[in-house]
Amino acid sequence: MNTQNVIDKFRGKILGNQATKKIIAETLLLLPEKTIEDLSKHVWFMSSFDDAWAYTFRGNDLKGKKMIFLSDELLSQDKESIQFTILHEVGHVVLNHRNSINFRQTREEVNKQEQEADKFAFRYLNQSFL
């Protein structure tokens, strides 16, 4: 599998400029193919892109899906920082973490989830350097 295969697998659910799509796909290629397959069915990646100031979704576009938003500030960082953050956020999805927006969590619960997502990210990022 290559970066274009990953982008194609998401069928338009990776939104951003070409460089952003490429770094997302390169990062996802660090994961097992089964995980990429599962993510492609349930996750959208969003960032800004060069030819649009904004975009709109219908209610059903994101129904039952997860969304990972990547800020322009993140995308201006070094490759390892970008990849760590993408993997960290993917970790939240894969580990079925809740967010505090719709569900009240204790500080301990939030800290535990953050540590688990960090471990997930380090696991796959460190494998790429072996």
Q: What per-residue confidence (pLDDT) applies to 128? A: 61
In DSSP terms, 43 is beta-bridged to 66
Q: What is the pLDDT of residues 79-102, one digit of tens each?
A: 999 999 999 999 999 999 987 677
**Which residue is it, tokens 């993917």?**
90
Predicted model pTM: 0.90
Per-residue pLDDT of the chain (130 residues; tens, 9 = 90+): 999 999 999 999 999 999 999 999 999 999 999 999 999 999 999 998 777 778 888 878 888 899 999 999 999 999 999 999 999 999 999 999 987 677 788 899 999 999 999 999 999 998 765 4
At residue 130, the pLDDT reads: 45
CA distance 40 to 12: 10
Instruction: Find out whether 67 and 44 touch, Cβ atoms under 8 Å.
Output: yes
Fold of 3-127: Arc Repressor Mutant, subunit A (1.10.10)
For residues 83 and 112, the answer to whether their CB atoms sit within 8 Å is no
**In this predicted structure, what is the pLDDT of residue 45?**
96
Average pLDDT value for the chain: 91
